[in-house]
Amino acid sequence: MEKILVVDDEESIRDLYRMELEDAGYQVKTAASGEEALKSVAAFSPDLVVLDIKMPGMSGLEVLGKIRETWKTLPVILCSAYGEYKQDFSCWASDAYVIKSSQIDELLGTVRRLLAEGA
């Protein structure tokens, strides 16, 4: 079973994504902060990370940079309610960018595509 780490400071988003991804057949762990995310990547060894950009403390872009230092091929989907980040050069290190929504069809499709590409 493929493992996904969902990182978001909003509990409702973490819960929604966890439930939907589990329903789709994935093993899911969640993290509420950048620091927690980096510990979880090391301990959980996910096959993919769904990462919020705007978080207190360490931003998602900082977390992405640290992930790329150690886990260069780990697929990362940046997920934000703010579309303007899509133009930010820092986001280009991610594998995909999805606008945060309660309709998660785009996210699920992106997860499936990235995991299939890595298989």
Q: Would you list the domain boundaries of the chain?
A: 3-118
Length of the chain as a residue count: 119
User: Is it the case that residue 6 has pLDDT exceeding 90?
Assistant: yes
Q: Where does the pLDDT of residue 66 fall: very low under 50, low under 70, confident under 90, or very high at 90 and above?
A: very high
Q: What CATH number is given for 3-118 in this structure? A: 3.40.50.2300
Residue 85's Cβ-side half-sphere holds a number of Cα atoms within 13 Å equal to: 22
Please report which helix (H) or strand (E) contains residue 3, including its range.
strand 3-7
User: Is it the case that residue 92 has pLDDT exceeding 60?
Assistant: no
Average pLDDT, the chain: 89
Give long-range contacts, CB 8 A cutoff, 24+ apart: 37-43. Answer: 37/5, 37/7, 37/63, 38/63, 38/66, 38/67, 40/5, 40/7, 41/5, 41/67, 41/71, 41/74
